Structure 1
């Protein structure tokens, strides 16, 4: 009789799955138009928010990404200088700047990020709203736990 806990089987499966997922994602090269932009994973998250949710302020981007507004501003400045993003005045409040993917970059960004969005959509579509929430909460808990574990190793 096995002395393994039932959770060990799930952990084993996930430990084998995660590197495959990350490897597959890393092998998806950016479209030719974006290759010279030296985009990092932090840029992908910001571009995903803009692609899926539309134009945002820096403050809104920071909130959705869970980062400081100054960090979001640095990312926006970096991508704006590269021509990937553009800023517009908010018609309702001229003091506010709205950030969006530039018209010239939108097709390439969409081409690059669409396979991931499509795969997530197919994976979670059969689930109930509660099941989708459980998947998301589990991944968030894993991320938080992994961050703590790696901080302890680094100390």
Structure 2
């Protein structure tokens, strides 16, 4: 596979800022550093034996950021099927990380939350990433933040499309 766009102009003919190829070069250098830094955040000793995967971190981040919620709400936030979330919740509940309780307003529903005993450890572990994103996103306008998120989503979708080839 070749890298498209070799030898093209570094500047953007349409105005200030880098051209597409120059932005790609910058991102090709930046992305591995970002992933490397994220991977170097040590898992707290209390959680090391629990074999947490990236999918668990997304679920825990949602619960920390947005508070307790139902499996269906978690599934919508994580953009996965409720059965997938239900399996993860069951797994993390058995490990003592999550708890399910009845919803006082509707006893048929279950509310998922992080256990009080694990919350401080998980919060301090994941707070660094949330703080870094807040620092990066705060200076942007709401429209710029939306464009940034949509750009990352488009990149992820394009990478997924290439996996299917």
TM over 0.5: yes
The count of corresponding residues between Structure 1 and Structure 2 is 151
Q: State the TM-score, normalizing by the size of structure 2.
A: 0.89
Structure 2 unaligned regions, length at least 5: 1-6, 11-18
Aligned CA-pair RMSD: 1.0
Structure with larger Rg: 2
Aligned to 1:128: 141
Q: Residues 5-154 of structure 1 correspond to what in structure 2 (within 5 A)?
A: 6-152=19-165
Name the structure, 1 or 2, with higher relative contact order (CA <8 Å, separation 6+).
1
Q: State the TM-score, normalizing by the size of structure 1.
A: 0.95
Separation of aligned partners in 2, 1:86 and 1:32:
21
Separation of aligned partners in 1, 2:8 and 2:110:
59
Q: What SS does the aligned partner of 2:43 have?
A: coil
Does the Cα contact within 8 Å between 1:31 and 1:111 map onto a contact in 2? Answer: no
Separation of aligned partners in 1, 2:30 and 2:163:
19
